[in-house]
Structure 1
Amino acid sequence: MIQLDQVKVRHVSMKLKKPFQTVNGLVVVRDTLIVEAYDRDGRVGYGECVAFSDPFYSPETTTTAWDQLKNFLLPMLNKKKINHPKDLHQIFSSIQGHQMAKASIETAIWDLYGKQQDKTLKDVIGGVRDEVESGVVLSLMDDIEKQAEEYNKKGYKRYKLKVQKGQEKETIERVQSVIGDRPIMFDGNGMYEPEDMLHLTKLDDLNLLMIEQPFRSDDFYYHHQLKSQMNTSISLDETIKSEHNAFQAIELGACDNINVKLGRVGGYQQAIQIHHFAKVAKLPLWCGGMLETGIGRAHNVALATLEQFTLPGDLSESSRYWEEDIIMEPFTVNDGKVKVPTKPGIGVTVNEKLLKKRTIRDFTHNF
């Protein structure tokens, strides 16, 4: 049984090296919540809430997650026994939505559990890789050719482009002129409408690895329609908020692969269930990114070790976004791959001094 002593939640503010721009929003300063779960022997597990300050990606924000953790989710744990981290999904099932808030405490407890068992999180969840393939995301504000050349030297295995509607071909060809035939995809961020179907099908000759989330998040039908009309793979991101969403997408033929984000689906238990469905359906998975600190990135790297995560994820190195990360062993990319930490839990050491410096408010919940 996992007996918690206390949980500390920190609101942390981290300035990005460069602003990150998508069609839906601009991020200059990354506000995030770091969750520290302590057991009675003084061990600590870390999780990260990946909600943004503004609700441009999902309805959740750092403010809503703070409220949920403080007033609902953590008080529930005073009344329930936790025999295993997988119990958290059922414990929180009476709370509708708020997947990112749930995931922040769930992932912290998974990390704590790994440390209690003296095992890596990779081994605890059944991962099979000692290194994972890394992709990089180029935002709308990047000097695309310069950035692509820099990341090409590091051997990134896949390039994801943020694009403007109607300018996809031009943007893709600019990057292709630098990186050659390395895999390229673009992220639609749900900006396309049904009347854009013909426009999208005309991009089929660009030989893209995939198109991610072209239509709105609640749309299975038009994703299915587009998939039936294109040779280019269709990937779902915002649409998949649970194992049930993944099941429906697979059964309805709405995608060729799925981007799994721990925060978006509510944590490891749901992500592992999605993995089981995908394995049976022989559907490739990949791990998406949310401008995480090294804590969230360490969790993503662990997730990407699962067998069905066969496509390169958004697992760029720490220096991609931060002058100084809040972990002591920044993630680096070598020959397009990131090594999986080998120490217990998420396997990284948190820079407590820097974490406290970046904290703008916090609270502690006792058990």
Structure 2
Amino acid sequence: MTITITEIELSLVRLDLIHEFETSSHRKSHLDHIVVRATASDGTVGWGECASPSDPYYCSESTESCWYVLSEHLAPMVLGRPWEHPDDAAALTDRLSGNHFARAGLDMACWDLYGQARGETLATLVGGTAERISAGVSLGIEPTVDALLDQVARHVGDGYRRIKLKCRPGWDLEPVRAVRAAFPGIALQVDANTGYRADSAEHLAALTALDDQGLLMIEQPFAEDDLLGHAGLAARLDTPICLDESITSPAVLATALHLGAADIVNIKVSRLGGIGPSVAVHDVCRAAGVPVWCGGMHEFGIGRAANLAVASLPGFTLPSDVSGSDKYYRQDIVTPPIRATEGLVPVPDARPGLGVHVDESLIRTNRLRHAVLKEG
């Protein structure tokens, strides 16, 4: 079957966070994401979400750069051009370099259209097998250790099965020890978001000190391009090293695995540029016996639904950052709302495609910018 997109509508939507979130680089109280509404020639509507950071801290992309790339490049490359599979739609934009977050927003919309055309959910289309996903939560840097312990207690009480703590130099061993002492049986990991340096003796000592805390993993301690630094640390520690920002393609993944830089891989649909590349990274890791889990970018319900579908693949053996959207937002833009029960989140199946319905009135209420792009 052939699908042709005739209109792409972009909405920059802001949702306030219930609780402010701080990483090694910055603190945020709200999220601005670009929602993509793609209309096919038969009137079917597909939805995608560009969950890029507002500022270029996590990666070189930002909300502004993604808006430009989507409106000036990606949309014109796809509008009016027929395709049979979402990978074919992605191939229409091959001459554009990088810009994975922008690509992911359009890619999700194409997969949503494809699923509706076939009458199948995204999870089924990609070969997912799980109906519920084991969910962990990611907790930011708090003003005090006591404030962090309060957050951990609340989420453990909600049934989440893994706690991830953001860390940075000076906020690492003390909070980890406090959480481990208060919750000795919880699955615990840390995420540095590239905040440490492999050439710093002080930083290496801090990371080494975490090695006896029974952590599931230490995630992305060094810069994304420092694969040798990660390989050296992995050889030095018993705690597994997980790569996030570094894994931008199956080719980079192959290099990281060859160097011994990654014991575990965090797969993010947005960072990899969409569903197809995410499935490809999963397949490489599964063949190599490397565990994977699904990371998140505080997605709204559209992106969260895509993450859950990908996380239903059989290689996702560790708890993923696919917690209920009510952890972050008082009201999401999809129905039914994505919720966790005893640490498990159902894979959406309310309709073909992404499996969720989008509340367009909430998009209009919360949007900051709007553009409609048409064929021709």
- Give the TM-score band, short-chain normalised: over 0.9
- C-alpha deviation, 1:79, in angstroms: 6.6
Question: What is the rounded CA distance, in whole Å, between the counterparts of 1:66 and 1:137 in structure 2?
Answer: 27
Question: What is the rounded CA distance, in whole Å, between the counterparts of 2:237 and 2:281 in structure 1?
Answer: 25
Letter in 2 for 1:180: P
Matched, 1:172 2:182: no
Please show how residues 14-25 of structure 1 align to structure 2 within 5 Å.
14-25=15-26
Residues 286, 312 of structure 1: 8 Å contact kept: yes
Residues 4, 80 of structure 2: 8 Å contact kept: no
Question: What is the rounded CA distance, in whole Å, between the counterparts of 1:128 and 1:188 in structure 2?
Answer: 31
Please show how residues 103-142 of structure 1 align to structure 2 within 5 Å.
103-141=104-142
Equivalence for 1:359? 367
**Judging changes above 3 Å, is the alpha-carbon distance between structure 1 residues 263 and 25 closer, same or farther for their aligned structure 2 residues?**
same
Equivalence for 2:227? 220
Question: What is the rounded CA distance, in whole Å, between the counterparts of 1:286 and 1:362 in structure 2?
Answer: 34
Residues 19, 141 of structure 1: 8 Å contact kept: no
**Mean CA deviation greater in 197-206 or 273-282:** 197-206
Query: How big is the alpha-carbon RMSD for the aligned residues of Structure 1 and Structure 2?
Result: 1.3
SS of the equivalent of 2:98 reads coil
Which one of 150, 154, 159 corresponds to residue 150 of structure 1?
A: 154
Equivalence for 1:2? 3
Question: What is the rounded CA distance, in whole Å, between the counterparts of 2:344 and 2:52 in structure 1?
Answer: 26
Question: What is the rounded CA distance, in whole Å, between the counterparts of 2:170 and 2:113 in structure 1?
Answer: 47
Equivalence for 2:71? 70
Give 5+ residue unaligned stretches, structure 1: none
Question: What is the rounded CA distance, in whole Å, between the counterparts of 2:89 and 2:191 in structure 1?
Answer: 32
- In the superposition, the TM-score normalised over structure 1's length comes to 0.97
**Mean CA deviation greater in 148-157 or 219-228:** 148-157
Matched, 1:231 2:238: yes
Question: What is the rounded CA distance, in whole Å, between the counterparts of 2:157 and 2:76 in structure 1?
Answer: 49
Please show how residues 1-367 of structure 1 align to structure 2 within 5 Å.
1-78=2-79, 80-141=81-142, 143-194=147-198, 195=200, 196-342=203-349, 343-367=351-375
**Mean CA deviation greater in 138-147 or 268-277:** 138-147
Letter in 1 for 2:237: M
**Judging changes above 3 Å, is the alpha-carbon distance between structure 1 residues 298 and 350 closer, same or farther for their aligned structure 2 residues?**
same
Amino-acid identity (%): 36
**CA displacement, residues 236-289 of structure 1 (integer Å, 9 cap, x when unaligned):** 000011111111111211111111111111111111111111111011111111
Question: What is the rounded CA distance, in whole Å, between the counterparts of 1:45 and 1:174 in structure 2?
Answer: 45
SS of the equivalent of 1:86 reads helix
- C-alpha deviation, 1:69, in angstroms: 0.8
- C-alpha deviation, 1:326, in angstroms: 0.8
Letter in 1 for 2:187: P
- In the superposition, the TM-score normalised over structure 2's length comes to 0.95
Residues 7, 36 of structure 1: 8 Å contact kept: yes
Q: How many residues align?
A: 367
Residues 148, 178 of structure 1: 8 Å contact kept: no
Question: What is the rounded CA distance, in whole Å, between the counterparts of 2:53 and 2:171 in structure 1?
Answer: 27
Give 5+ residue unaligned stretches, structure 2: none
